[in-house]
C-alpha cells in the first residue's frame, strides 16, 4: 500500500483551495494501491489558508526546534505543522504502507526542495516537516514533482 499527498490524488486541499492531480497517483488510487492524506488538513488548517514556508531551515530543523513555519501574514504555524506531521505518520503506520508519495516543494510534503521562507518563489534544498518526520521514522519517501 502507498499513502500519497491528497492534493496529488485530486483533493482540493492546497492553501488556495486547489488540487494538483498527478496521473500516476490518481491511477494508483483508482486501482486500490494508494490512499490519500493531507497533513495540513489533518492539523485542522482551513482551506483556503495563507501560504506558509519554513524560515531559515527545513523540516529537520523544525523537528529539532531550530526553525519555524510561518504563513505569509507572519503568523507562526509551527505547532499546526508538527501536529499534522505526527497525525500523517500515525495514519501511514495504521495503513501499514511501505511507501509514501509526497508532493514536491510543500512546507509539509516537500521531499528534496522547498521554498526558502521569503515568499519570493525561491527554492532551497530540504524537506518539509512531514517528510522529515517520515524519514526520521524510517519510512520510504518518494518525491512526486508537481
Interface residues toward ligand SF4, by CB under 6 A: 5-7, 13-14, 38-40, 103, 106, 108-109
Q: How far is the CB of 116 from ligand SF4 (least distance, A)?
A: 17
Dig out the grid coordinates for 134 from the structure: 517520515
Which residues have CB under 8 Å from 90's CB, separation 6+? none
Nearer to ligand SF4, 136 or 146 (CB): 146
What's the rounded Cα separation, in Å, for the pair 69 and 108?
10
Would you give the DSSP letter of residue 137? Answer: T
Q: How far is the CB of 5 from ligand SF4 (least distance, A)?
A: 4
Q: What is the CA radius of gyration of the chain?
A: 14
Q: Phi and psi for 112 in degrees, rounded to 5?
A: 150, -40
Q: How far is the CB of 96 from ligand SF4 (least distance, A)?
A: 20
Q: How far is the CB of 74 from ligand SF4 (least distance, A)?
A: 20
Nearer to ligand SF4, 19 or 55 (CB): 19
Longest dimension (CA), the chain: 41
Nearer to ligand SF4, 67 or 114 (CB): 114
Amino acid at each position: 500500500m502507498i499513502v500519497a499527498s491528497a492534493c496529488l490524488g485530486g483533493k482540493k486541499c492546497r492553501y488556495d483551495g486547489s488540487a494538483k492531480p498527478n496521473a500516476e497517483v490518481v491511477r494508483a488510487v483508482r486501482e486500490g494501491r494508494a490512499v490519500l492524506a493531507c497533513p495540513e488538513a489533518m492539523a485542522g488548517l482551513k482551506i483556503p489558508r495563507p501560504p506558509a514556508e519554513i524560515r531559515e531551515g527545513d523540516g529537520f530543523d523544525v523537528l529539532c526546534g531550530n526553525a519555524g513555519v510561518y504563513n505569509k501574514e507572519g503568523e507562526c504555524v509551527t505547532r499546526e505543522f508538527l501536529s499534522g506531521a505526527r497525525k500523517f505518520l500515525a495514519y501511514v503506520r495504521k495503513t501499514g504502507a511501505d511507501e509514501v508519495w509526497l508532493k514536491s516543494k510543500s512546507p509539509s510534503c516537500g521531499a528534496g526542495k522547498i521554498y526558502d521562507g521569503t515568499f519570493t518563489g525561491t527554492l532551497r534544498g530540504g524537506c518539509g516537516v512531514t517528510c522529515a518526520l517520515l524519514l526520521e521514522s524510517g519510512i520510504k519517501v518518494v518525491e512526486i514533482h508537481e
